[in-house]
Structure 1
Amino acid sequence: MRPENPSQSDHDEDAVNDLAETAPGRLGGAIGPRGARIGAFALALVGVLLLARGVAASNAAVGLSEASSEGLSIPRWLYVATGGAAIGASALLAGFVTDRGFVNRVHEWRHGLGTRDRLRGVGMAVGSLLGALLIALIVYRGITGPQVSTINFAVVVVFAGGRAGLTMAAYAIGNPWPALNPFRAVTSRLPTGVVDYPERLGRWPAVAGILLLIWVETTTGVTNKPNLLAAAVAGYAVVAFAGAVLVGSDAWFRNADPVSAFFRFYGRVAPLAWEDGRLRLSLPAMRLVEDWADESRRDGGDGQTVDADDTRLVRGLDDVAIAVALVWELTFSGFVTTEQGASVIRAVVGVGLPPILVYAVLFVAGFAVFYGAFLGAARIAVRRILTTRTPRELVVAFAPSLLVIAAGYHLAHYFAFFLSLLPSLSAVLADPLSAPANPVVFTLPAWVSALNIVFVLGGHLVAIWVAHSTAYQLFPSRLQAIRSQYPFVFVMIGYTAVSLWLISLPSTTPAFLG
């Protein structure tokens, strides 16, 4: 870590102690620290109670789910504003936790579950065979099966099983893709590495790949055209195999493969992970708080770290873009599958623009806004706290907190979707070579939709704590650590308001794409 000015750090420590003991009025007039805590907690509680209404989230797989939401009985502006206030209140509460030892104990806690190297090896072998079989069946049944999305093996397995279920497993339990990835299992045993992977590219190819997959899912109709989905999966398989052979299995799946990057980033949120050959349990999302105390692990000028073991998840702006993309892609799919979003797109197309151009501009511009907002927060933070750290260092350090937000978004979009299609998923997996004669879809009780609020707010609240812990890793001064978070919290509040607004809207088939 770059040492901060010692005199400035001492001054800041005195200032934060004064703030906690004698000058809480800066936060709210004459109230004391206890009053500020109570007020912030009350605001957060009121927000959660007010928001605990039934609403349904949308998702891109509209070919499988035609969900609609009931109207809110409270004004939508109040609903959205209160959600943002709840996040702000949680940040205020986190700011009062200034015991560095306690903060470190929370994210450093680990519990070993025993050595399972042999079991892991067997699981990897079985998993890769299962992954190869599933991909073959997806391509085969996508072409030969009934071209009805609700009963076709390919569509149900890819979207209910993979897009929803496997992703939820990644951030709830641990990253399953290394075990299921058949391409890595095969290419790791072949002579590969015809050319060296260009290190200057970093993980930007994975960023482009993730955005391309989102675009294909949202705009091409693969969610309700099984033969088109089969072609897309076959195309991905060819690219993954060829890329791994060309530049090497490790280089390809670590830097360029979008599916591997997608699951790797979500998997870091999970409480289970293999560390030093042992399966270890941690508190959910706490592995996102990375060690910034060791100077040898700092981000290099080319966006790579000089750390040999390469355990840090986010190392440069390319990794930041992946974290932002995981948040943006759910926001984009949520917007275009709402009635209001479809109305906006119809209105713009009505002036004479091609629909695909409208979607492209919205997709790219929205990602640029989300990405730019996070970069801007880092620049503002550097100016506010007079640190020797650069905006690049701050944005890289705080980016992992976005993954908890993305996990909350994903759960809100896909939890009810997964539950409703669980019978169909079980039926096609039990008999993949024939379509179910009487597909069953669960009709969920209305209260399930209220969980969407819990998922979104819960993700943001945990993200606030991850950012809080990260700040204490970055700065020796508690006041600097607290103040550095504020710009990022404001960005998170913006993300919260947008996501809450989207899940409050009724969903529909995307305009011109259904």
Structure 2
Amino acid sequence: MWRLARRFALFWSAGVLALLTLDSVAASNAAVSLNNAAARNALAVPRWLYLSTGGGTIGASALLASFVTDRQYIEYVHNWAVDVHPTRLVRRGGTAVLRFLGVVALGYVIWSGLTGPQIPTVNGAVILVFAGVRAGLTIISYLIGNPWPLVNPWRTLSTVLPTFDIQYPARVGRWPAVGGFLGLIWIETTTPINNQPALLATVLLGYSILTLTGALVFGRDAWFDNVDPISVMFRFYGSVAPIQRSDDGLSIRPPGFGLPAKRIVDSLDDIAFIIALVWELTFTGFVTTAPGAAFVEALVSLGFPVLGVYLTVFIGGYGLFVGVYLAAAKRTRTFVGTYFTSRALALRFAPPLLAIGAGYHLAHYFGFFISLLPSLQAVITSPLTPPANPIVLTLPGWFEGLNIAFVLLGHLLAIWLAHAIAYETFASRLVAIRSQYSFIAVMIGYTVISLWLISLPTATPAFL
């Protein structure tokens, strides 16, 4: 079985590699190619002022959080919840409707991409995937609740297929999902997948074959819990949402407050995936800005290959983000002198990064989603007759302030969650406070980088 598992892993890797080698001929970042009308301009205030203000806000919030030292109060706040128990009819009816819509949407995207007009702002497949799922459904997953386990069309289709139930190798963990997620981001950034509907449909068709084959071999739960990058992404984002599924219904509490006790991160591959959520938005934010494009152009002018430059920035930056976080965990262990290993500390303090990732995603995609909302509504209400001249909303200038607020709110929530985790982990109040310092420093660094990126004017990625 292990030999078959290794062969299938090679097959999966080969499939992803084939997708990665698609010809790069046009810009593919959704926020740029679909919505140039919403391109950002530089903010009117000096960048050093709001960057230092943003970093100072996070530092001040950490300082204030350190004064909340009542363990019973922290425990009470995080355990507070309202339980909702929908009737069996509502649960079954809602499940059936969402599963049906997911399968229909997948079929529609493939059909529309292959046979519809090859104009990205008109083709329903592009609008539905990037505005509906990449932006809208992901936003819903962390602001309200995660609907993907029910909407997921591949999981629904896999229920009618037999399964070989080959034991999934536990030591592999979620590393395939990490690689798959980074691969999908690379495809989105460096290929014309959102400019060419037929290419989008072809990629989704290949993804469907790989996914259904994997579910057939290893079983639905093992595949979608460990290998499928889209399912893992929604799982992590959904853990921040105020509405969580429970054994007998729904549980409602403040966003992210269930993370300290949920133990959603249990291995290094989970940390790698969470940091990938943060890094991918940093990477796409950088290469779609004027300074980012100028940086790439400068390196290419020196003789470096275009894709080599992008790949170096992509992999190197991701490795730097992971390395800095793990270094913070090692520094924390040395600083507080705890018996916890640096690995254990890294696992415990990783969930707050999900709040940062959610704030990043909202800042990058909320305006994009609002701009394309009329087009998305037209696709949903008239999928077979998309409008020839779709409406794209132009956002007012004050929308940039919302982006800054989203980033700061995500980081503030992360600071509080780290504070709660520290008090749950350490008996000594002084140790609990000191254990947060290194992780807060990393969060402040993430804040400054993100605020700097969203302040820059957008541009088409160079040479793509």
Pairwise same-fold verdict (TM > 0.5) = yes
Larger radius of gyration: 1
Tell me the SS of whatever aligns to 1:96: coil
Counterpart CA distance in 1 for 2:127 and 2:30 is 13
Counterpart for residue 303 of structure 1: none
Q: Structure 2: how far apart are the matches of 1:427 and 1:113? A: 33
**Kept after mapping to 1: 8 A contact 2:144/2:243:** yes
Specify the SS of the correspondent of 1:500.
helix
Residue in structure 1 matched with residue 150 of structure 2 by the alignment: 179
- 8 Å CA contact retained: 1:170, 1:266: yes
Write the mapping of 1:233-248 to structure 2, written as runs, cut at 5 A.
233-248=204-219
Q: Secondary structure at the match of 1:62?
A: helix
Q: Is the 8 A contact 1:193 1:247 kept in 2?
A: yes
Who is 2:315 aligned against? 364
Give the counterpart letter for 1:499 in structure 2: S
Matched, 1:110 2:81: yes
Q: Is the 8 A contact 2:33 2:195 kept in 1?
A: yes
Q: 2:35 aligns with which of 65, 71, 83?
A: 65
Give the structure 2 partner of residue 410 of structure 1: 361
2:227 counterpart (228, 237, 256)? 256
- Contact 2:41–2:458, Cα closer than 8 Å, also in 1: no
Q: Give the TM-score of the pair, scaled to structure 2.
A: 0.92
DSSP 3-state at the match of 2:162: coil
Match of 2:23 in 1: none
1:471-482 to 2 correspondences below 5 Å: 471-482=422-433
- Partners of 2:102 and 2:151 within 8 A in 1: yes
Q: Which amino acid aligns with 2:364?
A: H
In 2, are the aligned partners of 1:59 and 1:334 still within 8 Å (CA)?
no
User: Aligned partners of 1:216, 1:114: CA distance in 2, in Å?
Assistant: 41
Question: 1:144-155, aligned counterparts within 5 Å?
Answer: 144-155=115-126
Cross-structure match for 1:505: 456
Task: Tell me if the contact between 2:84 and 2:249 (Cα under 8 Å) persists in the aligned partners.
Answer: yes
| Deviation digits for residues 25-51 of structure 1 (CA, Å, limit 9, x no counterpart) | xxxxxxxxxxxxxxxxxxxxxxxxxxx
Name the TM-score, length of structure 1 as normaliser: 0.83
Provide Cα deviations, 1:307-366, integer angstroms capped at 9, x if missing partner.
Answer: xxxxx3111100001110000000000000000000000000111111111111110001
| Letter of the structure 2 residue corresponding to residue 258 of structure 1 | P
* Residue aligning to 2:292: 341
How many residues end up aligned between the 2 structures? 436
Secondary structure at the residue paired with 2:107? helix
Distance 2:395 2:178 in 1: 35
For residue 285 of structure 1, what is the amino acid of its counterpart? G
Asked if 1:209 corresponds to 2:180, the answer is yes
Which digits, 9 at most, give the CA deviation of each residue in 1:182-204, with x for residues without a partner?
A: 22223234321342111110111
Structure 1 Cα separation of the partners of residues 110 and 300 of structure 2: 34
Q: Deviation digits for residues 53-74 of structure 1, max 9, x if unmatched?
A: xxxxx96432201133233333
The answer for the alignment partner of 1:15 in structure 2 is none
Partner of 2:371: 420
In the alignment, which of 267, 270, 279 is matched to residue 238 of structure 2?
267
1:414 is matched by which residue type in structure 2?
A: Y
1:75 to 40, 43, 46: 46
Matches within 5 A, 1:319-468: 319-468=270-419
- Aligned residue for 2:438? 487
Following TM superposition, the consecutive aligned residue runs of length 4 or more in structure 1 with deviations greater than 4 angstroms are none
Which residue of structure 2 lines up, in the alignment, with residue 298 of structure 1?
none
Contact 2:29 2:188 in 1 (8 A): no
Q: 2: CA distance between counterparts of 1:60 and 1:475? A: 44
| Structure 2 Cα separation of the partners of residues 203 and 423 of structure 1 | 37
Q: Which residue identity is paired with 1:486?
A: Y
Checking the alignment, whether the CA contact within 8 Å between 2:85 and 2:248 is kept in structure 1 is no
Kept after mapping to 2: 8 A contact 1:183/1:241? yes
1:377-398 CA distance string (max 9 Å, x none): 0000000001000111111111
Maintained 8 Å contact 1:420/1:442? yes
Query: Superposed, which structure 2 residues align to 1:226-237 within 5 Å?
Result: 226-237=197-208
Q: Residue 61 of structure 2 contacts residue 412 of structure 2 at CA under 8 Å; is this kept in 1?
A: yes
Q: Which amino acid aligns with 1:399?
A: A
| Residues 108-117 or 185-194, more deviating | 185-194
Cα separation, 1, equivalents of 2:400 and 2:365? 11
Classify the secondary structure of the residue corresponding to 1:387.
Answer: coil
Corresponding residue number in structure 1 for 2:19 = none
Q: Which residue number in structure 1 is paired with residue 13 of structure 2?
A: none
- Alpha-carbon deviations, 1:251-294, whole Å to 9, x = none? 00000000100000000000101112221101111121126xxx
Aligned amino acid, residue 270 of structure 2: D
SS at match of 1:290: helix
CA contact (8 A) 1:117 1:277 kept: no
- Which segments of 5 or more consecutive residues in structure 2 lack a partner in the other structure? 1-27
Measured against aligned partners, the alpha-carbon deviations of 1:410-447 in whole angstroms (never above 9, x if no partner) come to 11111111111100001112121223122111122222
CA distance in 1, matches of 2:425, 2:111: 51
Mapped partners of 2:102, 2:29: distance in 1: 25
1:240–1:116 CA distance, 2 compared to 1 (3 A): farther
* Match of residue 159, structure 1, among 115, 120, 130: 130
SS at 2:61 equivalent: helix
Shift of 1:115: 4.2
- Aligned to 1:273, the other structure's residue is in SS state strand
Find the aligned partners of 1:275 and 1:268 in 2 and give their Cα distance.
12
Tell me how far 1:461 sits from its aligned partner: 0.4
Structure 2 letter corresponding to 1:447: W
| Paired amino acid for 2:142 | Y
Identity of aligned residues (%): 54
How far 1:494 sits from its partner (Å)? 0.4
Query: For 1:280, which of 247, 251, 276 is the aligned residue?
Result: 251
Aligned residue identity for 2:248: G
Counterpart amino acid of residue 267 in structure 2: G
Instruction: Give the aligned partner of residue 295 of structure 1.
Output: none
Q: Deviations over 1:73-105 (max 9, x none)?
A: 332122212211111111011011100111111
The one-letter amino acid paired with 1:384 is F
Distance across 2 between alignment mates of 1:134 and 1:72? 39
Judged with a 3 Å threshold, the aligned counterparts in structure 2 of structure 1 residues 333 and 116 are, in CA distance, closer, same or farther, namely farther
Q: Please list every run of 5 or more consecutive structure 1 residues that lacks an aligned counterpart in the other structure.
A: 1-57, 292-311
